[in-house]
Amino acid sequence: MRKLILYAVFSLALTSIFYSCQTAESVERDAYYVNGRDLYIRHCQNCHGEKGEGLGELTPPLTDSLFMKQNRTQLACIIKNGLSAPLSIHGKVYEGKMPDFNLANIDIAQLIVYITNGFGHKQGMYNPEQVAADLKACK
């Protein structure tokens, strides 16, 4: 019985250590991710699909991890300003036009956390300050 209690106390301690190790950043990132998913469903899913799979020849998928990594600092610009230059995604060229979205920096940050941590990506946190900086440097 004593062993059992000791064991219970020990595992409780372990669990609380584990949860406090979940850094403030990961809690914040999870909140961004959940809000970003709502925004994605509202603004983006029609074209890019529930799983980021895209829409045939018209809309590229959001699953190309090379593109998403190489263009991380351009994602805010793509969302805010839209895009019409031809793009190569997964080796296929897309020539459609993406509309612009007049969203607040916080919304853009949440969307980017969602699309760069969902769909098979794992790029971590991205905040409104980074959105502001990236928007100043749009190509």
Rounded Cα distance, 11 and 61, in Å:
44
Place of tokens 């749009």: 138
In this chain, which of 96, 118, 123, 135 binds ligand HEC, going by CB under 6 A? Answer: 96
Among 81, 83, 105, 128, the residue binding ligand HEC under the rule CB under 6 A is 83
Exposure string of 49-84, with b = 16+ CB inside 10 Å and e = fewer, is beebebeeeebbbbbbeebbeeebebbbbbbbbebe
**Is position 98 an interface residue for ligand HEC (rule: CB under 6 A)?**
yes
Q: Is 88 a binder of ligand HEC (CB under 6 A)? A: no
Binding-site ranges for ligand HEC (CB under 6 A): 43-44, 46-48, 59-62, 64, 67, 75, 78-79, 83-87, 89, 94-99, 101, 111, 115
